[in-house]
Amino acid sequence: SRQRKRYICTTVQKFGVSKIISLGNVGSGWVEARNSRGNVGLVPEDYIEVKTILIISFVFDFTSLFRAYCMKLENCVGLFLSIILLLSVMVILCHMAVGSVYSFDEEWDDDSDDGKSTGGYGGSQADEGGTMQRGGAHSTMKLSLNKFPGFSKTPNPEVYLLTKHISKGDDRLPIYTGEVGPVWLYPQIQLDCVVADPKKGSKMYGLKSYIEYQITPNTTNRPVNHRYKHFDWLYERLVEKFACALPIPCLPDKQVTGRFEEEFIKMRMERLQGWMSRMCRHPVISNSDVFQLFLNYRDEKEWKLGKRKAEKDEIVGVKIFSNIDPELPELDPAQVEQKYEMYSQFTRSMDNSVKELLTVGHLHWKRCTGPLQKEYRQIGKAFQNLSSVFNTSAYPREYTLTEALTATGKTYEEIAEIVAGQPKKDLHFLMETTHEYKGLLGCFPDTIAVHKAAIDKVKEADHLVVMNKISQQDKLIMEKNLSTMSYALQAEMNHFHSNRIYDYNRLVQFYLEEQVKFYETIAEKLKKALGQYTTM
Amino acid sequence: SRQRKRYICTTVQKFGVSKIISLGNVGSGWVEARNSRGNVGLVPEDYIEVKTILIISFVFDFTSLFRAYCMKLENCVGLFLSIILLLSVMVILCHMAVGSVYSFDEEWDDDSDDGKSTGGYGGSQADEGGTMQRGGAHSTMKLSLNKFPGFSKTPNPEVYLLTKHISKGDDRLPIYTGEVGPVWLYPQIQLDCVVADPKKGSKMYGLKSYIEYQITPNTTNRPVNHRYKHFDWLYERLVEKFACALPIPCLPDKQVTGRFEEEFIKMRMERLQGWMSRMCRHPVISNSDVFQLFLNYRDEKEWKLGKRKAEKDEIVGVKIFSNIDPELPELDPAQVEQKYEMYSQFTRSMDNSVKELLTVGHLHWKRCTGPLQKEYRQIGKAFQNLSSVFNTSAYPREYTLTEALTATGKTYEEIAEIVAGQPKKDLHFLMETTHEYKGLLGCFPDTIAVHKAAIDKVKEADHLVVMNKISQQDKLIMEKNLSTMSYALQAEMNHFHSNRIYDYNRLVQFYLEEQVKFYETIAEKLKKALGQYTTM
């Protein structure tokens, strides 16, 4: 009766549970739940039951079909629930017969299509600015801790620190000394891809529908199709495999309501494009098997096989450091710690700074589309009203002034619309990328914590040697491995810095260009209005 | 014991009493008061006593001197009050001995100099915009009704309508047909003057101080000096003499506190200049004896004699129409009424329209100097903070970007100041003149009411002829005189229209020119910041 199942349910964020990964009944109306971050806690059974049923009803195609049929009968709720549960069990058994619990995931779809919220996301629709509302829970990287049973929060680097690792040929991740210090091996041609052409697809006679995006890498120029849930699967794999060494920025938020509105689809596509481009730019991620599979699979079969393989990957969590091969002199622990401190400080400061920029940008966005637009409209109206009144004077020399005043009024009305439309033209880009950086910076504390844990372990090493818990040889291996970890962090930080400088240079430049155009356009319009007045 | 004195006291506006002109004791603790609008009402005696004493204490130089001395003794309030009253009576007797009750006014000074409010003006200091707070009571013209005893609200035009008037040589006010219809006789050279050089003067060993302005007319190029109270005296004379035919805009507000602050003095001077220029531009007003006296008096003696003469002028109120001589065909009453309706409608509509413009302008002013300035500062700070953080990266390729970001941040801080300073540069002028128009338009209802009353009287004329109250001849005279009044209104409206078109053409043109400069300056500054980024 304690059999574990993988129920995925999105629950209210304030409970700190974004996904419940596994459930176990502990009796007395409580169940033990473990979420995707590995946190374990008790959840009221009633609450979970309700959610589970709801989700199952969305998840399984047969169930949906049957439910739709049952809905028409309206009153047979009891019968309905029984049948749902029966069907659920059938489907579970059915899938277990196929052989793997992961194929189970294939049919999971929290990106479900009936527009009803399966959790508490109702209030978190994209705001006007469209940039500020990604959930806080999503801003920090999810280290999938199922892979490291025994460690409750930060993955313990001990597993790696004590291994005499051998870099395997294909998986080897070399680090070189570049002009700026330790760097990853960058490919000759940088991978990139275009996310485009969102299409509505449907399954089960139109009962389930979804959006499929076309992703075309610059390497093959051959498009592949993926739904949001595939991106999410890729994200989960990247987190499992790399998150101890590389901050993996989260995907754009899931959105339950309004998923088929054109505006939303466009925004999600833009954000998936941003995420994919960032992943493509990363030499380690872009070169990984799972990422290559995502971009290059040729048919359903290759995709399924690739997925299976990726999900069985053993080199995940701290083990990824075993693949890293810095062809550089070993660093002593003090140097490692100093680097760690610097990066820790920097990423925290930048996190605050990008948050400030987002806050200010958001305020400005709201001001432009709210009170400022209204005010310029009012100014426009006031001039036009004055013109209308003047027009009734029956005074013979009125015409030129009333025409000019009307033109002035209309100009301010146009300015109102220009002002309100401006943030979408310039601030949007600045905000979107800064938001990406906020997400990325939110991942650093977790990534950096692994390094801190390793530093602390190595600090203990002398004591452990004395206590005969480890050998002197072990201690040296630990120090060597810590040095390797530090090089990985340095290579990653240099990658981050180089991208950051590129991004912000481009970003602010674009912003200023658009701002210049904005002010020039207004000046031009006002000049034109001015030309209508007589010079006396 | 019912002897009338002329106590001038500024009292709380909400009582609808801005100046109490005369007082009569009716017993039981109440006094009958008549204000400058001719409204009569009962006022609690205690209230008046207190005010009167306060005012007397400010009014009389001897009293002030003595009071200042007494203040040092602190506790001798009873003695103090007795002495004040005694002195007041002495001064009154003294002045009466000189011969005229008007010389009494000479020493009245509600523009008194100790910074204490003599009424309820405490809260009405100039706001940030500096334009919105002239009291409502001041927005409507004060028709000094003492001159028309027997009429309680609108001056009764009957006195004039029934007179066979003879236009006297010098006082004759001709009306011609101009291109735009009936017009006043405009002088060859338009009178203008410069109000400048405000100087602090003092009396009574420095116990009383005041600001004296220098007014230089373009005709004589010889400066004369006047205090605010002299402007106020001129205003009262113009209202008495012309307000039935011409709207006389009120003076800029009296201000009791902060009168010696540079900013206030500058603003009052600017507004006195605006008022004087408008008066100079008016062919009837600028040509009047009292206005000429104000601008051209050669010495104190000429000034005093001129004042005496002006205060004794008999051709005031509706009698002014006797001077008007339209050399134009007589209008029938229907035509007169139609014109009246049109002007009434127009001035009301324009009144609403300028009020809207003032409201919108005030909002915009507050937005620019408040939230917008703050926001641009915040944007500036956010860029500069980002730059500071980037500067700590120890990454070797940081310099260009951090320099550019700092420049961008500083540019937005400069923009914040430009934005906050802009209303003073452009909106100020638009607001000040529009406020002048609001004042002027507030005078029209009173002026127009005289015409309406005349129209109604003439409508009754047929009936009065039948009743043998007036002769057929009288009726014809009334119609002729009504036609004259209408020509006066038409000439005045045409004067108003021509000035309005000139003013608003100039105003909005200036506003737009400054706005264009404003947007161009910002664009230029941003372009300069943009130049700091590397093009990649």
How many angstroms separate the CA of residue A524 from the nearest CA in chain B? Answer: 8
Identify which has the larger pLDDT, B198 or B166: B198
Cα angle for residues A192, A194, A196 (degrees, 5° grid): 165
Which of A364, A515, A523 lies nearest to residue B516, judging by beta carbons?
A: A523
Question: Chain B residue closest to A524 (CA)?
Answer: B516
Is residue B227 a known part of a binding site?
yes
Q: Tell me, what DSSP letter sits at residue B249?
A: P
For residue B78, count CB atoms less than 10 angstroms from its CB and return exposed for 0-12, middle for 13-18, buried for 19 or more: exposed
First to last CA, chain A: 95
H or E element, residue B176:
strand B173-178
How many angstroms separate the CA of residue A134 from the nearest CA in chain B? Answer: 21
Residue A534: both structure tokens together: 């007589």
Q: What mean pLDDT comes out for the span A346-356?
A: 97
- Estimate the share of chain A in helix, then strand, then coil, as percent rounded to the nearest 5: 60, 10, 30
Residue A82: how many CB atoms within 10 A of its CB?
A: 11
**Interface test mutation site (partner A, options B340, B373, B387, B397, max chain A beta carbons within 10 A):** B397
Report helix angle B262-281 to B228-242, nearest 10. 30
Residue B411: both structure tokens together: 């540019």
Return d(Cα A521, Cα A514) in angstroms, integer: 10
User: With bands split at pLDDT 50, 70 and 90, how would you rate the model's confidence at A90?
Assistant: low
Query: CB–CB of B66/B81 below 8 Å?
Result: no
User: With bands split at pLDDT 50, 70 and 90, how would you rate the model's confidence at B86?
Assistant: low
Main-chain phi, psi angles of B143, to 5 degrees: -80, 115
Q: In what order do the strands lie in the sheet with B181-184?
A: B181-184, B173-178, B324-326
Q: What pLDDT sits at residue A143?
A: 45
H or E element, residue A477:
helix A472-530
H or E element, residue B198:
strand B193-203
Give the percent of chain B with pLDDT over 70.
Answer: 69
Place of tokens 């340095």: A490
Query: CB–CB of A483/A336 below 8 Å?
Result: yes
Q: Do B398 and A349 touch (CB under 8 A)?
A: no
Query: CB–CB of A119/A10 below 8 Å?
Result: yes
Identify which has the larger pLDDT, A99 or B84: B84
pLDDT at A104 over 50: no
* β-pairing verdict for B193-203 and B208-217: antiparallel
**Interface test mutation site (partner B, options A503, A520, A521, max chain B beta carbons within 10 A):** A520
Closest by CA to A114, choosing from A205, A11, A208, is A208
CB proximity B303 to A under 8 Å: no
Q: What pLDDT sits at residue B407?
A: 97
CA distances from A506 to A352, B195, B403, B404 (A): 21, 56, 14, 12
CB proximity A467 to B under 8 Å: no
Q: What is the CA radius of gyration of chain A?
A: 29
CB proximity B418 to A under 8 Å: no
Return d(Cα A185, Cα A488) in angstroms, integer: 11
User: With bands split at pLDDT 50, 70 and 90, how would you rate the model's confidence at B80?
Assistant: low
Q: For chain A, give the mean pLDDT.
A: 78
Q: Tell me, what DSSP letter sits at residue A383?
A: H
CB proximity B98 to A under 8 Å: no
Q: What pLDDT sits at residue B51?
A: 34
Positive or negative, the Cα torsion across B262, B265, B271, B276? negative
133-192 of A, contacting B, C-beta below 8 A = 179-180
- Kindly list the residues from chain B whose CB atom is less than 8 angstroms away from the CB atom of residue A396: 179-180
pLDDT at A451 over 80: yes
- Kindly list the residues from chain A whose CB atom is less than 8 angstroms away from the CB atom of residue B375: 360, 363-364, 367
How far is residue A291 CA from its own chain's centroid?
A: 16
Three-state DSSP class for residue B316: coil
User: With bands split at pLDDT 50, 70 and 90, how would you rate the model's confidence at A404?
Assistant: very high
Q: What pLDDT sits at residue B155?
A: 80
CB proximity B531 to A under 8 Å: no
Give the percent of chain A with pLDDT over 70.
Answer: 69
Identify which has the larger pLDDT, B38 or B226: B226
Polymer length in residues for chain A: 536
pLDDT at A238 over 90: yes
Residue B128: how many CB atoms within 10 A of its CB?
A: 13
Three-state DSSP class for residue B251: coil
pLDDT at B74 over 60: no
Residue A526: both structure tokens together: 């006002």
Give the percent of chain B with pLDDT over 90.
Answer: 60
Q: Tell me, what DSSP letter sits at residue B257?
A: T
Which of A394, A508, A534 lies nearest to residue B405, judging by beta carbons?
A: A508
Q: What mean pLDDT comes out for the span A498-511?
A: 96
CB proximity B3 to A under 8 Å: no
Task: Give whichever of A458-462, B14-18, B256-260 has the largest mean pLDDT.
Answer: A458-462
Q: Tell me, what DSSP letter sits at residue B156?
A: P
Q: Do A505 and B534 touch (CB under 8 A)?
A: yes
How far is residue B161 CA from its own chain's centroid?
A: 30
User: With bands split at pLDDT 50, 70 and 90, how would you rate the model's confidence at B171?
Assistant: confident
pLDDT in tens, B400-447: 999 999 999 999 999 999 999 999 999 999 999 999 999 999 999 999
Is residue B6 a known part of a binding site?
no
pLDDT in tens, B247-298: 999 998 776 566 668 888 888 999 999 999 999 999 999 999 999 999 999 9
pLDDT at B316 over 60: yes
Question: Chain A residue closest to B495 (CA)?
Answer: A395
Q: What mean pLDDT comes out for the span A26-49?
A: 50
Query: CB–CB of A259/A211 below 8 Å?
Result: yes
CB proximity B510 to A under 8 Å: no
Q: Do A397 and B364 touch (CB under 8 A)?
A: no
Residue A191: how many CB atoms within 10 A of its CB?
A: 21
For residue B393, count CB atoms less than 10 angstroms from its CB and return exposed for 0-12, middle for 13-18, buried for 19 or more: buried
Q: What mean pLDDT comes out for the span A10-15?
A: 31
- Kindly list the residues from chain A whose CB atom is less than 8 angstroms away from the CB atom of residue B498: 395, 397
pLDDT in tens, B393-404: 999 989 999 999
One-character DSSP codes across A522-534? HHHHHHHHHTTSP
Q: What pLDDT sits at residue B19?
A: 42
Q: What pLDDT sits at residue A258?
A: 62
- Kindly list the residues from chain B whose CB atom is less than 8 angstroms away from the CB atom of residue A515: 526
CB proximity A399 to B under 8 Å: no
How many angstroms separate the CA of residue B497 from the nearest CA in chain A? Answer: 7
Q: What pLDDT sits at residue B311?
A: 96
Q: What pLDDT sits at residue B204?
A: 76
User: With bands split at pLDDT 50, 70 and 90, how would you rate the model's confidence at A35?
Assistant: low
Q: What pLDDT sits at residue B496?
A: 97
Which of A383, A389, A494 lies nearest to residue B349, judging by beta carbons?
A: A389
Q: What mean pLDDT comes out for the span B102-111?
A: 36
Return d(Cα A318, Cα A45) in angstroms, integer: 35
Q: Do A386 and B504 touch (CB under 8 A)?
A: yes
* β-pairing verdict for A40-44 and A173-178: unpaired
CB proximity A344 to B under 8 Å: no
Annotated binding site of A: 227, 229, 268
489-508 of A, contacting B, C-beta below 8 A = 494, 497-498, 500-502, 504-506, 508
pLDDT at A246 over 80: yes
H or E element, residue A342:
helix A333-367
pLDDT at B530 over 80: yes
CB proximity A408 to B under 8 Å: yes
Interface pTM (ipTM) of the complex? 0.75
CB proximity B399 to A under 8 Å: no
User: With bands split at pLDDT 50, 70 and 90, how would you rate the model's confidence at A16?
Assistant: very low
pLDDT in tens, B485-521: 999 999 999 999 999 999 999 999 999 999 999 999 9
* β-pairing verdict for A173-178 and A324-326: parallel
Q: What pLDDT sits at residue A177?
A: 93
Query: CB–CB of B460/B432 below 8 Å?
Result: no
Which of B180, B367, B396 lies nearest to residue A180, judging by beta carbons?
A: B396
Return d(Cα A237, Cα A235) in angstroms, integer: 5
Residue type, B267: M
Residue type, A494: N
User: With bands split at pLDDT 50, 70 and 90, how would you rate the model's confidence at A232?
Assistant: very high
Q: What pLDDT sits at residue B293?
A: 97
Identify which has the larger pLDDT, A259 or B52: A259
Positive or negative, the Cα torsion across A519, A521, A524, A529? negative
Question: Chain B residue closest to A377 (CA)?
Answer: B360
pLDDT at B1 over 90: no
The whole-model pTM stands at: 0.74
Q: For chain B, give the mean pLDDT.
A: 78
User: With bands split at pLDDT 50, 70 and 90, how would you rate the model's confidence at B41?
Assistant: low
pLDDT at A353 over 60: yes
Q: What mean pLDDT comes out for the span B129-151?
A: 37
User: With bands split at pLDDT 50, 70 and 90, how would you rate the model's confidence at B78?
Assistant: low
Q: Which of A295-304, A484-493, B116-125, B526-535 has the lowest mean pLDDT?
A: B116-125
Residues contacting residue B443 through CB under 8 Å, at least 6 positions apart: B140, B141, B243, B247, B248, B249, B250
Which of A180, A342, A364 lies nearest to residue B379, judging by beta carbons?
A: A364
Question: Chain A residue closest to B367 (CA)?
Answer: A372
Closest by CA to A4, choosing from A131, A70, A96, is A96
Q: What mean pLDDT comes out for the span B348-358?
A: 97
In chain A the domains, ranked by start, together with CATH numbers, are 172-314 (3.30.1520.10), 347-531 (1.20.1270.60)
Question: Chain A residue closest to B373 (CA)?
Answer: A364
Query: CB–CB of B392/A345 below 8 Å?
Result: yes
- Kindly list the residues from chain A whose CB atom is less than 8 angstroms away from the CB atom of residue B335: none
Return d(Cα A370, Cα A129) in angstroms, integer: 11
Q: What mean pLDDT comes out for the span A497-519?
A: 97
For residue B214, count CB atoms less than 10 angstroms from its CB and return exposed for 0-12, middle for 13-18, buried for 19 or more: middle
Residues in a beta bridge with B400: none
Q: What mean pLDDT comes out for the span A426-442?
A: 95
- Kindly list the residues from chain A whose CB atom is less than 8 angstroms away from the CB atom of residue B360: 375, 378-379, 381-382
Closest by CA to A13, choosing from A117, A148, A120, is A120
Query: CB–CB of A346/B392 below 8 Å?
Result: yes
* β-pairing verdict for B193-203 and B181-184: unpaired
CB proximity B420 to A under 8 Å: no
Residue A481: both structure tokens together: 């491995």
User: With bands split at pLDDT 50, 70 and 90, how would you rate the model's confidence at A188?
Assistant: very high
Place of tokens 């997400």: A439
Q: Tell me, what DSSP letter sits at residue B330?
A: P
CB proximity B374 to A under 8 Å: no
Q: What is the longest distance spanned by two Cα atoms in chain A?
A: 108
